[in-house]
A and B are shown apart, each in its own frame.
Chain A
């Protein structure tokens, strides 16, 4: 029989394997060989320096969105709005960076980073405010905010801020001073084509900050208390509503940091619909990572590898597209939610004691 601690690792691993099994059935049913498909997945994401670099690159925004969703969950809030929050923030970063053209990097980079956090935070904070003030359902409201964000950034990139002389839906490029270094500029052995950038380091720092806030400050304690029980927290004198608004603001802020790795570190412009569901995959990342920063990093690496691998599906298989990742993550969320099933299985095979 394993300890509770071991189970914390075992259950997510089982969920992932079970999800890949379901994925295999889907792959098989569209007429491809699951083993070959999964081999292609991991060969291109894990078995070369380049592949690992790309895995880290794709994991970066997922760490931000995973943290975002996890932070909300810790306060008992379900943030499905990371997708909208990151779009708004990416647009805000782009526009502010262009506006600050001419300033030195020492000024422009920190300002843009703060802008990305605040822009995402505002977009997340509005549903938080509506929840605290009016009891508005944050799940529905964050979804609505996604819809509004898509329309808003689409308007901006099609209309007033569209870069002249191109059909691509992009804004002007941000100035050199607003760009953060790629990793290969710092470590020479890394291939020059690799878009992995300092955003990854920012993501790791964000995890550290999250850990410190939630477990080492009084405020983090309050947030977790509200997440466990609204009524008990209220009785203990905690301002529940204030914590709800702040938690949603921080959650939105973390999602907004995607603007750093995406705009300041990779594209140097706002590209319409660049995210392709990173905000939603953050839900799977948070749940699989048990809403803990370390878990979020591990889960983000897994999904980073899956996204990297999925890009080779379109090339290698007629009947498969990269959307397979969305399927896998949906199944993973389902299995993480039904962990009672796996606990039962574990106790059947004798690995786990009976439920009390």
Chain B
């Protein structure tokens, strides 16, 4: 069985970390601003569906990518209206989005393609980038040689997120409304608007994460395409203590675990169904190992009533 523990496992793990990274960074923005985003999974599904449909209809994956992002932002906005403007219970509102993500794509896909579970294969997938020099060097070629452009984008978003959150005044204000909205408002920060910005960004990123599944990693939307990845991304975020760097570590751990379960199937005499449980069990173990260490933003999940 040890033959699966090779460089290809790592490469495949990086690929499978990509949707997790995008969704988890999205969650990071939202939760840092004080809005729990349990809707990440649903937004990913919406993104995956929109991406696949638009990429198929226009025969251009870039339009699919753009549409997935925008729709992700729009769906997140619904969560935003409910949880910011109307101070809804954020977990309940997010769950509503997740429930809609089960029904809406099925209804639309049925209307468009006469199938509630799968959309047609797209003609063109997002391009694979072959790094010029590196893809000539033997070991590095397997490790870093060729990935979808979204993989590079996701990994580069990690330092970008770190910079935006911790080194810009926008990030400072965003964290302020997530830690102490009263004080932030006193300091002249528009709490609602900052929270909306954060939720929108989370929607754009999670929508991209979904699009990765349907137009970069796969080539169509299938039922239950996220397979709970939005929730695993949240677990990675909690594991990462709401910091980009550690969240990346969490996402890569889950991504490699996912790659491992795919590659080990059929290699060892354990039924596939048990191997498939591995990432989920790992998620629960990781969450359980965090007793007292998770540093949740102080106002995370608490609705805030702005003065005016």
* Chain A residues close to B by CB (< 8 Å): 26, 30-31, 78, 80, 130, 133-137, 139-141, 143-148, 151-152, 154-155, 158-159, 277, 280, 283-284, 287, 318-321, 323-331, 333-334, 336-338, 340-341
Contacts and interface: CB of A to CB of B under 8 A. Distances in A.
Contact of A30 (B107, B116, B294): B107
B88 A338 contact: yes
B106 interface: yes
Interface size class of chain B, counting residues whose CB lies under 8 Å from the partner chain? 35 or more
23 contacts: A30-B107, A78-B92, A78-B95, A139-B91, A141-B284, A144-B228, A144-B283, A147-B228, A323-B103, A323-B110, A324-B107, A326-B99, A326-B106, A329-B99, A330-B96, A330-B97, A330-B101, A333-B95, A333-B96, A336-B92, A337-B88, A337-B92, A340-B87
Contacts of A148: 277, 280-281
B89 A134 contact: no
Ranked 3 nearest A-B pairs via Cβ = A326-B103, A330-B100, A330-B99
The listed residue with most B CB atoms (<10 A of its CB), out of A30, A152, A325, A338, is: A338
Contacts of A143: 228, 231
Contacts of B78: 334
Nearest to A143: B231
B104 interface: yes
B50 to A, nearest CB: 15
Max chain B Cβ within 10 angstroms of own Cβ: one of A135, A141, A328, A337: A337
Given A26-B104, A323-B103, A326-B102, 6 more contacts: A136-B284, A143-B231, A148-B280, A330-B97, A333-B92, A337-B82
Nearest to A80: B95
Nearest to A319: B111
A337 B89 contact: yes
A341 B99 CA distance: 20
Contacts of A338: 81-82, 86, 88, 93
Interface in B73-94: 78, 81-82, 86-89, 91-93
B102 A319 contact: no
B291 interface: yes
A133 B294 CA distance: 14
Nearest to A338: B86
Contacts of B92: 78, 287, 333, 336-337
B277 A341 contact: no
Contacts of B116: 321, 323
Contacts of A320: 107, 110-111
A328 B280 CA distance: 29
Nearest to A159: B271
B234 interface: yes
A340 to B, nearest CB: 4
A277 B98 CA distance: 12
The secondary-structure label for the interface of chain B is: helix
Contacts of B100: 326-327, 330-331, 334
B165 interface: no
A139 B284 contact: no
Question: Most chain-B Cβ atoms within 10 A of its Cβ — which of A130, A137, A331, A341?
Answer: A137
Interface string B229-246: 001001100100000000
B273 interface: yes
A40 B138 CA distance: 64
Contact of A152 (B104, B238, B273, B294): B273
Contacts of A280: 99, 102
Contacts of B43: none
B102 A330 contact: yes
A333 B99 contact: yes
B100 to A, nearest CB: 4
Contacts of A137: 234-235, 238, 287
Contacts of A26: 104, 107
B75 to A, nearest CB: 11
B99 to A, nearest CB: 4
A144 B284 contact: yes
B269 interface: no
Given A130-B284, A135-B290, A323 B95 contact: no
Contact of B108 (A30, A135, A159): A30
B62 to A, nearest CB: 26
Nearest to A73: B92
Contacts of B1: none
Contact of B276 (A78, A151, A159): A151
A242 B274 CA distance: 31
A144 B99 contact: no
Given A30-B107, A319-B110, A320-B111, A139 B38 contact: yes
A198 B289 CA distance: 44
Interface string B269-308: 0010110110011011001111110100000000000000
